[in-house]
Each structure stands twice: as C-alpha cells, then as structure tokens.
Amino acid sequence: MAESVWAGREAAGVTKYQPAAADLVFLAGMDWSAYLPLRPDPEPAVINLIQHVRHADPASKRVYPFLSERAIRICVSPEVEEAILATGRVNGPTLTIANGVDVDALLACQQAQRVHDVYVLARKAPELGRQVTQRLASEGLSVCLHTEFTERESILEAMACARVSVLLPHATEGFYLPALEAMALSDLVVVPDCVGNRSFCADQRNCLMPGRSADELAAATLEALALVQGGRGEEFRKRALRTLDGHRLERERAEFHSLLDNLDTLW
C-alpha cells in the first residue's frame, strides 16, 4: 500500500512505540510481534495489511499464526483475500483494496522511440532471465536485462524504452505491481501467472501469460513482438489502459479513506 494513500489525513511521527496512545493501530507482516506484548485494554482499532498469499500457508510460521488475532484485514488483491479466508482462521472483517499506481505519471514517462525490442525484469529469477535473454538475442533481438537489484526509476525507464517487457515474478506474489507499470510503458507485456496477478492480467487480452520455462517465455515474447509489428498490439494496449484506469492510486486512496471513515462499523 503506497504511502500516499494517507494523504489528507493528519499524522504525527513518534519516537516511542505506544499503541495505547493511538486511535488506530496499523500492522503489516511481523509488526504483530512488537504489538502483542504491548496490546492495550481496551484495544484501539487494528488494521492489518496482508500483502502476500503466503500468509495463508501454515508453513509460514512467521505470519500465519497472526490470522487468528482480531483485526480489520486489508488484502492487496482478491487472490490474497480468498487465500486467507480459505484457512478458516481469520478473526475480524476482511476486504480487498487492490494496489494502485500513479497512472498519469507513468504514461508521461512513455518514450517516442523504443531503444530495445525487449526488456527482461529478472531480479527474482536471474538464471531464467539469462536463459530467456540468450534465446531472444540468438534471434537478433536487442534485449535489456536486469538480474540484480535496480532502482525503480531505472526499471521504469527500461520498460518505456522497450516494445515488449518480459516480467519474471516469484511463483507466488500478493500483487505484482510491475505488470501494471509495464502495461503503461511498453507496447505489450509478457508475464507468467503468479497468483496475485490473476485479477488484472488476462492472457491474450491485455498481456501474454506463458508458462515459466525459458522456451515458453521466449516463444511468447516473439509472439508479442509479432503482434506489435503486425498492428494487433494496439488492441492489447487499449485493454491494458482500461485495466490501468481501474487501478489508479486515487481509487486506492478513496477506498482506504472510506474504510477509515467507517471504522466504528467494522471494529
């Protein structure tokens, strides 16, 4: 959840963690470990941000046990909400506020000319990224590859400079934001299923979603380039823009503020 969703709400920094002095406690991930020993009575409203489907995995001993703690849970995607509710352990109301992006700012970063045929974002799967790049380079394509940590600005620039962006997430994600960013900046996006992108990535509609093997990814990338070169990329582009319009940061902020305005009915 972007920091800017708090815009318009008064907030003050503190130097000492005192949840008893708060009207609202906002927790994510392992924040429960610091909060529970100090949990006040009566307890203020607690909002728990759930950002990954692994919270529903009993093997994730660091986060799974906290599902039984009372809280209002915000999930970053419908897939995350579905996963945690399926555990039967969730204590308190649960809703999805899908992640948003600054669509207008992204579209303003588009490039008039594409420097590369393909951009491969492979920090989460570096060896797979190298294999895909090798296959594409053997076809005579210009490929930009990132396998190490890269500043977001450089990633966005690379997306904007490529006709096709190939994105390699982990096998499971909570919400895979680079897919939305690439939809705004590249002509077409290739990204495999990672659970947390199913609500906004539609194969053969606004992107291509091949399997996770190097051969499948390379073949889908060649297909994407052919679609762009053949004029059909514009169909994907229009649907991608409609997808982006539903994931604006303004929408995320409005839904979050609506929750804050209705805390008394939820807690």
Q: How far is CA 17 from CA 3, 28, 148, in A?
A: 19, 15, 35
User: What are the residue ranges in the chain where pLDDT is below 50?
Assistant: none
Spell out the CATH class of 103-245.
alpha beta
Q: Residue 101 pairs with which residues in a beta bridge? A: 248
Res 17: pLDDT: 87
Calculate the dihedral angle through the C-alpha atoms of 46, 47, 52, 53, rounding to the nearest 10 degrees: 70
Q: What is the pTM of this model?
A: 0.91
| Domain parsing of the chain, residue ranges | 3-100+249-266, 103-245
Res 34: pLDDT: 94
Q: Single out the residue of 83, 63, 80, 86 nearest to residue 1, CA to CA.
A: 80
Res 176: pLDDT: 97
Please report the beta strands in 29-124, taking only residues with DSSP state E, as ranges in sequence order: 45-50, 72-75, 94-96, 116-121
CB 186 within 8 A of CB 165: yes
Res 113: pLDDT: 84
Res 61: pLDDT: 86
Q: Check residue 200 and report its DSSP letter.
A: T
Res 2: pLDDT: 57
* Tens digit of each residue's pLDDT (9 = 90 or more) over 24-51: 999 999 999 999 999 999 999 999 999 9
* Tens digit of each residue's pLDDT (9 = 90 or more) over 156-194: 999 999 999 999 999 999 999 999 999 999 999 999 999
The DSSP element (H or E) to which 28 belongs, if any, is: strand 24-28
